[in-house]
Amino acid sequence: MGATALPRDLLDWYDRHARVMPWRVSPADRQAGIAPDPYRVWMSEIMLQQTTVAAVKDYFERFVRRWPTVRDLAGAEDAAVMGEWAGLGYYARARNLLKCARAVVNDHGGAFPDTYETLLTLPGIGPYTAAAIASIAFDQAETVLDGNVERVMARLFDIHAPLPGSKPELKARALELTPHERPGDYAQAVMDLGATICTPRNPACGICPWRTPCAARIAGTASELPKKTPKKAKPTRFGIVYLARRSDGAWLVETRPEKGLLGGMMGWPSTDWHEGAPTDQPPCPAKWQVLPGEVRHTFTHFHLILTVKTAALGADSDPGRGFFLDKHAFRPSDLPTVMRKAFDLARNP
């Protein structure tokens, strides 16, 4: 089967089976002339980085209700955006979301650029995201390569070299198939194929539109692919987190530094997180009590175990770091997940 027939067969399948998602224009609407909103495409692609569609849907809908255009988002308060993002993880994405929105407004008149090269100049947009936006939002013939597409290409061409070293070969194969007709729909079709048919385990080869030409199906190796270089074991780090409440109900919180983990997020004062035993560094003098239990959380590169200490503070307390947040302004949902776990432990020791 030739390279021209493959995308055509996949698009025929996509026209019947495209997933319905709040940021997507259906194949029928797109062919009727309804163009995708680049703002919604960009927002979804940033949110979907290292996160599942199921986890993103509610966040996406809340964001676009609150900030329906890129100008609305560019004018938002940083803390409001970080609060809405809380729980979605990888908080550098939220910081770059704001930076990118402001760059689009300030440098591009509020309109997203429509070329891969220019999209790459925006904060938080790398090669994959630039290709996805150019393709899906502007129907440019760019090659989109995410985990789903890598898996499909590895199986379609029976490529056994392990990831990440095989990425260039997988990208070259994907490029061969990227059509100039309906490239935006095609990009979404390949991702849908990987997400719903060519799944990591137990691929549904019997109903796949590329069943006949798939080299791994013919060789019986589909379930083994793609192969991956074994990951190193994650280290475990330790720390102490301090939850203190003033007599009027205000909570002692701090804004984390812009750079680093949870950058720019509101959280509880804590020690540094190291692999050795943490050094006690309370934010102010008080009768600190160690709670039973501990907080466990996993980041991309390490596991974290936190001891939680609590204290009741007087009305005249003057912390060495952080600030008091009025009890009416405090929302646990504004905290990043690891900090919310500490709050939940303190509330239900």
Q: Give the catalytic positions in this structure.
A: 45
∠ CA 337-73-192, rounded to 5°: 70
- Please give the DSSP secondary-structure letter assigned to residue 260: S
**Distance in angstroms (rounded) separating the CA atoms of residues 128 and 62:** 25
- Please give the DSSP secondary-structure letter assigned to residue 197: T
Token pair in block for residue 151: 């898996």
Token pair in block for residue 185: 């729909």
What is the DSSP pairing of strand 295-298 with strand 303-313?
Answer: antiparallel
Residues paired with 303 in a beta bridge: 236, 298
Backbone φ and ψ for 21, nearest 5 degrees, come out as: -135, 150
* Among candidate residues 233, 250, 230, the one with its CA nearest the CA of residue 318: 250
What is the DSSP pairing of strand 251-255 with strand 266-267?
Answer: antiparallel
Q: Report the run of H or E that residue 135 belongs to, with start and end.
A: helix 127-138
Backbone φ and ψ for 230, nearest 5 degrees, come out as: -55, 140
Helices 127-138 and 183-196 cross at an angle (nearest 10°) of 120
CB atoms within 10 A of CB 183: 22
- Please give the DSSP secondary-structure letter assigned to residue 316: T
Query: Would you say 45 and 133 are in contact if contact means Cβ atoms under 8 Å apart?
Result: yes
Query: Would you say 54 and 45 are in contact if contact means Cβ atoms under 8 Å apart?
Result: no
Backbone φ and ψ for 163, nearest 5 degrees, come out as: -75, 150
